[in-house]
Amino acid sequence: MRTLKGPGIFLAQFAGDEAPFNSLGDIARWAASLGFKGVQIPSWDGRLFDLRRAAESRTYCDEVLGTLRAAGVEPTELSTHLQGQLVAVHPAYDTAFDGFAPEAVRGRPAARQEWAVEQLKLAARASRNLGLDAHATFSGALAWPFVYPWPQRPSGLVETAFAELAKRWVPILDAFEEQGVDACYEIHPGEDLHDGATFERFLEATGNHARCNILYDPSHFVLQALDHVAFLDIYHSRIRAFHAKDAEFNPTGRVGVYGGYLPWADRAGRFRSLGDGQVDFKAVFSKLAQYDFKGWAVLEWECCIKHPEDGAREGAAFIRDHIIRVTEKAFDDFAAAGTDEAANRRMLGIG
């Protein structure tokens, strides 16, 4: 077993145009002042990071690392959530997701997808140049509009969707393999990989690709009424990244899982700041320690009620207090008998 690294913080929800949130050095110092030891960097945010430069220049990456170290933090992972989403977009979502792409490819789905694939391949190289071995992303979605089986899905529809999704991702996963970096898909509603069964289907379609792995975020399982602790027992061998995010699901006679098109604060399922929701973090951190998770515990703040800076400050302490310093010895070592093979054989009656 090993002790988790942390606390880390995903910077996407905090980056902005005002100081200290508008430059990597300033936001890193802000994070460090709250007690964070690592930062997960949104690769699309030019105020903080230049993905192409990072892929092409080790000197630039050394500068990034120097900036972070001077602030007292280190990088946990790069994120391409927005670019990963654009690897696969159902036409129903073309307009909604166009804003994730640069203006030059908006309204041009094929060009937008090509841009997204290139971005992921750049991210693989940039991750290696930064000395990282895991990367956070989304899978995108082709089948999501058909998640509820009404009207009845025609035979082969889902199989075709996952075959196409894998066809798009395998060259990207191969690029991550070349760099020795795991691609970690956040299992997330709105993505074709939104629970264990869909991850398994995709993994099989990729030929069980070694770099096809999971970013575990228990909040998305609470909102689906999925057992977020049992998920760790089943999929721990593929979990390479961890978002510590809380959520609550309180269905009523009026609204349930689907939310009734209500704003977040009025939904039965909603994200909360760490400690304010229903995720069993004691069990989560225990399981991750038990299964020798080698990565970071990274705060992702998405609370619909609490101020983000309060959520960040409280989140740093929450993660710090939940990380288990694993034991280096057995609790009953004091009673060790000091026997040897011969004694063991005598005890078994086979000596």
What is the tens place of the pLDDT at every residue in 97-112?
Answer: 999 999 999 999 999 9
What distance in Å separates the CA atoms of residue 117 and residue 115, rounded to the nearest whole number? Answer: 6
- Tell me the percentage of the chain whose pLDDT exceeds 90: 93
Distances (CA, A) of 241 to 7, 50, 261, 350: 13, 22, 31, 47
Q: Is 90 exceeded by the pLDDT of residue 20?
A: yes
Q: Which residue(s) pair with 40 in the sheet?
A: 10
Q: Cβ distance 237 to 294 under 8 Å? A: no
- What value does the mean pLDDT take over residues 334-351? 81
Q: What is the structure's pLDDT at 340?
A: 85
What is the distance between the alpha carbons of residues 163 and 169, in angstroms, rounded to a whole number?
10
**Non-local CB neighbours of 148 within 8 Å, separated by 6+ positions:** none
Average pLDDT value for residue range 137-141: 98
Mean of the per-residue pLDDT values for the chain? Answer: 96
Fold of 5-347: TIM Barrel (3.20.20)
Dump pLDDT digits (tens) for 154-204.
999 999 999 999 999 999 999 999 999 999 999 999 999 999 999 999 999
State the pLDDT at residue 186. Answer: 98
Residue 19 identity (one-letter amino acid): A
Query: Could you tell me what percent of the chain has a pLDDT over 70?
Result: 99
For the segment 290-312, the average pLDDT, to the nearest whole number, is 97
Return the closest-CA partner of residue 238 out of 296, 182, 281: 182
Could you tell me whether strands 74-80 and 5-10 are parallel, antiparallel, or unpaired per DSSP bridges?
unpaired
pLDDT at residue 333 greater than cutoff 80: no
- Domain coordinates of the chain in residue numbers? 5-347
**What is the per-residue pLDDT for 334?**
64
**What is the mean pLDDT of the segment spanning 235-247?**
98
Count Cβ atoms within 10 A of the Cβ of residue 202 and give its class: 0-12 exposed, 13-18 middle, 19 or more buried: buried
Distances from the Cα of 105 to the Cα of 95, 98, 111, 165, angstroms: 12, 8, 6, 20
Full DSSP string of 301-343: ---SSS-HHHHHHHHHHHHHHH-----SS-TTGGG-----HHH
Q: Name residues whose C-beta falls within 8 Å of residue 92's C-beta, 6 or more positions apart in sequence.
A: 145
The pTM score is 0.95
Half-sphere exposure (Cβ direction) of 329: Cα atoms closer than 13 Å = 6
Residue 351 pLDDT: 72
**Cα separation, 77 vs 289, whole angstroms:** 20
